[in-house]
Amino acid sequence: FSGAYLFTLTITHLLPEALTMQAGHRIGYFVLAGFFGQLVLEVFSQGVEHGHVHHHTEHAGQVPFLLLFSLVLHSFLEGSILVKSPDAGDISQNFYAILTGVALHHIPAAFALMAALLLRLGSFRRAIPYLVVFALAGPAGIIVSNYVVLEQLLRGGAYAALLGLVAGNFLHVSTTILFETSPEHRLNLPKLAATLVGMLLALAMDWM
């Protein structure tokens, strides 16, 4: 459901808006950078973005700082595109629709991160501060974009580049979620229904 919602938002909002703000093929470079950059980040995050958790007993007792850093960076970038300004065009108008997509895909990520932290640290009390750091990364991105670097971001194509980067990121995460739900490529009606509901809900944001 979250994969379909995120994918639809990317195709119907993020990519068109980035291309409108910066004409030409250059925005495609940032989409590619975001897509393959997420591939690199997942070397460290181990797929937690899409709800995966892998337990390696040799690292028991150690805080997975690389995993946490990659998730925090991922979340911060996603939050940073959520700009409430008329100059942000379609993204500003659909602020809450995109915020919903980001939040939906962070729910399984938060569960997976907490599971990984508990497996590593063996204590809820030790794990919860790191979960809070992850939870604050997205809002921190929103605050920085809206109140710290807003003018610089909206000048000279920087915001279009950021949209392209995050769109590539979203394309990787959402398609991975969608493909992993059916690795044998068999028709699964409950999963198909959830995918269609996610897509239709994202499209409904345009019709409301």
Quick one: pLDDT at residue 144?
A: 93
Characterise 182 by phi-psi region: left (phi > 0), alpha (psi -120 to 50), beta (else).
beta
Of these ranges, 20-29, 55-64, 179-188, the one predicted with the greatest mean pLDDT is 20-29
Summarize pLDDT for 189-200 with one digit per residue, the tens. 888 888 888 888
- 172 alpha carbon, distance to own chain's centre: 9
Maximum Cα–Cα distance across the chain: 51
Calculate the dihedral angle through the C-alpha atoms of 193, 198, 202, 203, rounding to the nearest 10 degrees: -10
User: pTM score, two decimals?
Assistant: 0.81
DSSP state of 175: H
* Closest listed residue to residue 173, CA positions, set 30, 10, 74, 50: 50
* Closest listed residue to residue 64, CA positions, set 123, 119, 125, 141: 119
